Amino acid sequence: MSASEDSDVYCESIRIESKVIYADLRVNARGQYLKLSETGSKRPRSTVLLPASAVKWVYSLLDYYIRESAAGREAGHKELAVENKVFHFSVGSNERGRFLRISESGVSQLSGRHTLIIPCGGDELNGWVVLRDCIRRVGAVVEREAPEQQQLQQQQQQQSQPVADAQHAGEGGSEPRPPPPPPQPQQPPVLDVASSLVVGPGHPPPTLTTSPQGTPVLSCNGRRVFFDIGSTSRGHYMRITEAVDTVATLLEQRQQQQPHPQQAAPPPPPAGASPSQAQAHAQQYGQAPPQQRRQPQLPHGQPERQGG
């Protein structure tokens, strides 16, 4: 498996009313993630990508909405913060019944392609229960093996699969071997998601590093902010650049908490320097050239007036 190639670890599909939900646990060079998609007859395919560490929180949130709705209580809006993403969970209703909306922030929300609409499945909430059980099976695969072991097994399986298929075909089989049966996990622990609006492991803590040029770099929530000090003829400044949107902000020296020491005044031009030499000297040290007095122009043919 190459660094840019994604492989399937576990796949499952379920049907809820007129929709089909796909839960694909995949792995790449960065680790495992869950690709959750839904399709319907009157709606294009929508997909959200969740890190593997968010699977157990999704299970607990689904269990929370099932318990609250079954008890007749109003389940509130929840936000799941994990790594550099935030996922929003909320319950709505229309003429067809209640549904659970799962959306991913930071993407094109207007298109609706990153928002899942999960029907409840009737008064018994069978749709949400089926999805919760599906997420439980996905979580069992995540907890069973580490991502590094998953990648190694995928590589070994890809190398041995052509040989196994050839042997299977030689024995009279015309199709590849069927996939292994899904795991039968135990009931996982339910995390506390009812006590706060924002749940989940949260964002990683900010880190401060140094760039190859020796300037500080702040990394926070998947973004990198660079701090650079410079100077011009007008004084010192700080340039703050955000790597995501490439937005730079210039701060004057008086706005900085720790301004740089002022530079020494430039030396005067050499004695007896001509006006052109004085102008070149001023430009070399970032000074404005001295203003020369302009001589008034006389009409053509009029003699210059002498003193007195």
- Quick one: pLDDT at residue 24? 96
Residue 221 and residue 205 in contact, taking contact as beta carbons nearer than 8 Å: no
Q: What is the pLDDT of residue 43?
A: 75
- Measured between alpha carbons, how far is 109 from 111 in angstroms, rounded to an integer? 5
Please state, in angstroms and as integers, the Cα–Cα distance from residue 82 to each residue in 53, 145, 202, 221, 230, following that order: 8, 20, 5, 10, 37
Pairing between β-strand 43-51 and β-strand 78-82 as defined by DSSP bridges: unpaired
Please, are residues 12 and 139 in contact by the beta-carbon 8 Å criterion? Answer: no
Mean pLDDT per 10-residue segment, the chain (308 residues): 74 93 92 92 86 93 94 90 88 90 70 81 92 94 68 58 51 50 61 82 74 83 81 90 56 51 65 76 63 55 55
Q: Which tokens in the block code for residue 129?
A: 């229960």
Domains of the chain: 7-170 (3.30.2450.30), 207-255 (no CATH)
Q: Identify which of 130, 131, 126, 137 has the alpha carbon closest to the alpha carbon of residue 186.
A: 137
pLDDT at 246: 40
How many whole angstroms separate alpha carbon 289 and alpha carbon 87? 60
C-alpha triplet 132, 133, 137: angle, nearest 5°:
115
Would you state the pLDDT for residue 101?
A: 95
Tokens 């199709």 found at:
175
Write down the pTM of the prediction. Answer: 0.55
- Burial readout 238-266 (b: 16 or more C-beta within 10 A, e: otherwise): beebeeeeeeeeeeeeeeeeeeeeeeeee
Q: How far apart are CA 9 and CA 33, in angstroms?
A: 10
**Residue 82: per-residue pLDDT:** 87
CA–CA separation, 284 and 200 (whole Å): 58
Rounded to 5 degrees, φ, ψ at 80 are: -105, 110
- Rounded Cα gap, residues 216 and 258, in angstroms: 15
